[in-house]
Amino acid sequence: MRILIVEDEPTLGQQLKTTLEQTGYAVDLSVDGEDGHFMGSTEEYDAVILDLGLPEIDGLTVLGMWRKEGKTFPVLVLTARDSWSDKVAGLDAGADDYLAKPFQTEELIARLRALIRRSTGNATSELIAGKVRLDTRSGRVTLDGEPVKLTAQEYKLLSYLMHHKGKVVSRTELIEHIYDQDFDRDSNTIEVFVTRIRKKLGADVITTIRGLGYSLDDPADAPRG
Amino acid sequence: MRILIVEDEPTLGQQLKTTLEQTGYAVDLSVDGEDGHFMGSTEEYDAVILDLGLPEIDGLTVLGMWRKEGKTFPVLVLTARDSWSDKVAGLDAGADDYLAKPFQTEELIARLRALIRRSTGNATSELIAGKVRLDTRSGRVTLDGEPVKLTAQEYKLLSYLMHHKGKVVSRTELIEHIYDQDFDRDSNTIEVFVTRIRKKLGADVITTIRGLGYSLDDPADAPRG
DNA sequence: CCTCGACGATCAGGATACGCATGCATGTTC
DNA sequence: GAACATGCATGCGTATCCTGATCGTCGAGG
């Protein structure tokens, strides 16, 4: 899962970036509205954290531009002001949630998790596909109830696939969503990690669709449509 | 749009109901967890407003039951408590948003709007022709609900035909849209793939119009209504 | 109704691109 | 500095694709 943070205060921004990366997200950080808008328009994000009090361009303006462009990623708005009218304005401008500063980092993470879960159409924080379970809260993965140790990248890859269960995900899409910008797209790392995940969870977990990408299917919601 | 309110405090509940009705929603009001759960399970709602501090059954429990039953309507949780851990628990239990009491009615409405907008925003990009369904988002094809495995080229060909359902598509047109430039036009690959698709999906899916090309028709919108 | 020409369908073999697995060098973490 | 994670390069096996030949079918005209 890849996140964009648009925050003009360098300390807070960098701190958020670090925390989120430790949580298992790929994070890009932008420090002003113009650059932030550009990033959000050109790159693929699963969620955006947007500070309203930006220099140059106002956060709400940026948000409005994205929505006009048809961008649908969920946006979590940060506001220093504690007036509910601002919140209402933010929500109506297309924000999906907001958080007033100062806030607990845990709460930010929980809200982010909920946003991504919701935007990918999942009802709970525990993703299940056959014998494999992935708890987005604890970041744990189990196979037949047995805990499985995954590395950071393996987890990111699996998590993205499980969030998009049943969908055919191209290699490019995977690269765009588990790495932050500046990554060699002509590389076979995705294949390598798919191999490693299969070794740990079984070969049948991830299906290859030749020429298109990969797909993670749940035997439970198979046929019988 | 139809809303369910589960709120044990009669005054607040009734007031909310009135306000939302004036805003243009159809509103059902339930005053305890058990009844609320029943309503949510049996009726069709576009969103639910759920108070956590309920008598009898706890709000979080009700929410958990709905999610287990596969209910996906967006849920806005109301909580009197202002501890972020409760909020985190609520979000992770499957809530889509929460609001701490006391709150401004305007804010509630704005959040509700945002929730519904998001949950209905995902128009299904599914192409249907008779027994065949092709989901462009997930890249999957089903026949009578049974998933069918197509190769990349087969998928491209079928996809193009389904996008132009009912139209007669020439072989040249197919080649131009399936292959990038510079492809031997005097080749019979199209015929080969049509054959393969027919083998997988049935001979009647693709109709041959001799001398002109192919056409994919939906019995549903056949000539003569 | 039959014949014939033209077009489309089908089949099978070889070429190729694709994905898999493994080893190794470089980074990162404790 | 050791253990581990990551990403790149290589060689290999195979599903997939294209080609070309043959077979089948449609439809018009005799």
User: Contact B113/A91, CB-based, under 8 Å?
Assistant: yes
Secondary structure (3-state) at A25? coil
Is residue B24 located within the same domain as residue B98?
Answer: yes
CA A34, distance to chain mean position in Å, is 22
For B42, B132, B206, B218, B219, the CA distances from B225, given in Å and listed in that order, are: 35, 20, 20, 12, 10
| β-bridge mates for residue B134, sequence order | B127, B141
Q: Tell me phi and psi for residue B167, to 5 degrees.
A: -95, 145
Contacts of residue B70 in chain A, CB cutoff 8 Å? 123
Q: DSSP letter string over B134-153?
A: EETTTTEEEETTEEE---HH
Closest Cα in chain A, distance from residue B55 (Å) = 24
Contact (CB<8Å) B138/A167: yes
The pLDDT > 70 percentage for chain B reads 85
Segments forming the whole domain that contains residue A27:
2-119
Chain B residues with beta carbon closer than 8 angstroms to that of A107: 84, 87-88
Any CB–CB contact under 8 A between A210 and chain B? Answer: yes
Q: How do residues B5-47 score in pLDDT, each as one tens digit?
A: 999 888 888 888 888 877 767 888 998 888 899 988 888 788 9
Banded pLDDT at B223 (limits 50, 70, 90): very low
* pLDDT value of residue B86: 65
Residues 2-21 of B with CB under 7 A from strand D: none
pLDDT at B206 over 90: yes
Element (H, E) at A225: none
- Same-domain check for residues B36 and B64: yes
Average pLDDT over residues B48-60: 82
Nucleotides of C under 7 A from a protein CB: 7-12, 18-23
The residue of A66, A118, A171, A224 whose CB has the most chain B CBs within 10 angstroms, and thus the best one to mutate to test that interface, is A118
Confidence of residue B52 (pLDDT cuts 50, 70, 90): confident
Question: Domain end: A119, A139, A161, which one?
Answer: A119
- Which of B106, B139, B151 minimises the CB distance to A88? B106
Strand partners, A140: A135
Mapped onto helix, strand or coil, the DSSP state of residue A211 is: coil
The token pair at A57 is 């361009």
> How many domains does chain B contain in total?
2
Q: Quote the pLDDT of residue B122.
A: 45
To which residue do tokens 């690269």 refer? A175
- If asked whether residues A114 and A135 sit together in one domain, one would say no
Weakest-pLDDT range from A142-156, B54-68, B151-165? B54-68
CA A202 to chain centre: 25
Distance CA B213, CA A36 (A): 49
Residues B196 and B132 in one domain: yes
B73 touches chain A (CB under 8 A): no
Spatial distance between the Cα atoms of A93 and B94, rounded to a whole number of angstroms? 24
Residue at shortest CA–C1' distance from D16: B151
- Between strands A132-135 and A140-143, the pairing is antiparallel
Residue B91: CA count within 13 A, CB half-sphere: 26
Q: Which residues contact B68 (CB under 8 A, 6 or more apart)?
A: none
Please name the helix (run of DSSP H) or strand (run of DSSP E) that holds residue A52, with its range, or none. none
A120 to chain B, closest Cα gap in Å: 10
Please report, in angstroms and rounded to a whole number, the separation of the first and last CA atoms in chain B. Answer: 32
> Would an 8 Å CB–CB cutoff place B69 in contact with chain A?
no
Q: CA B59 from chain center: how many Å?
A: 26
Residue-wise pLDDT for B111-123, tens only, equals 888 787 777 654 4
Task: Tell whether B173 and B204 lie within a shared domain.
Answer: yes
Of B86, B103, B121, at which residue does a domain stop? B121
Instruction: Check A223 against B146: CB less than 8 A apart.
Output: yes
Q: Is residue B103 scored above 80 in pLDDT? A: no
More confident residue, A196 or B98: A196
The verdict on A107 and A134 lying in the same domain is no
Task: Judge whether residue B93 has pLDDT over 50.
Answer: yes
| Residue A62 shares a structural domain with residue A133 | no
Q: Are residues B20 and B87 in the same domain?
A: yes
**Residues B114, B207 within the same domain:** no
Same domain, A7 and A59: yes
The answer to whether strand C lies under 7 Å from the CB of residue B208 is yes
Nearest CA in chain A to B104: A84
Q: A182 CA to C30 C1', in Å?
A: 28
The Cα A96–Cα A112 span in angstroms is 10
Give strand letter and number of the nucleotide nearest A155 (CA to C1'). Answer: D5
Residue A156 and residue A74 share a domain: no
Q: Could you tell me the strand order of the sheet in which A2-6 lies?
A: A26-30, A2-6, A47-51, A75-79, A97-100
Point out the domain boundary residue: B91, B121, B151: B121
Model confidence band, residue B225 (pLDDT cutoffs 50, 70, 90): very low
Tell me if residue A164 falls in helix, strand or coil: coil
Specify the DSSP element, H or E, that contains A94: none
Q: What CATH number does residue B135 fall under?
A: 1.10.10.10
CATH of the domain at B53: 3.40.50.2300
Q: Are residues B90 and B48 in the same domain?
A: yes
The pLDDT, as a whole number, for residue B221 is: 57
Which among B92, B111, B178, B180 is the top mutation candidate for probing chain A, defined by the most A β-carbons within 10 Å of its own β-carbon? B92
Q: What is the pLDDT of residue B181?
A: 61
pLDDT averaged per 10 residues, chain A (length 225)? 92 90 92 91 92 81 85 87 66 81 88 90 86 91 93 95 90 90 81 95 92 84 41
Spatial distance between the Cα atoms of B15 and B20, rounded to a whole number of angstroms: 9
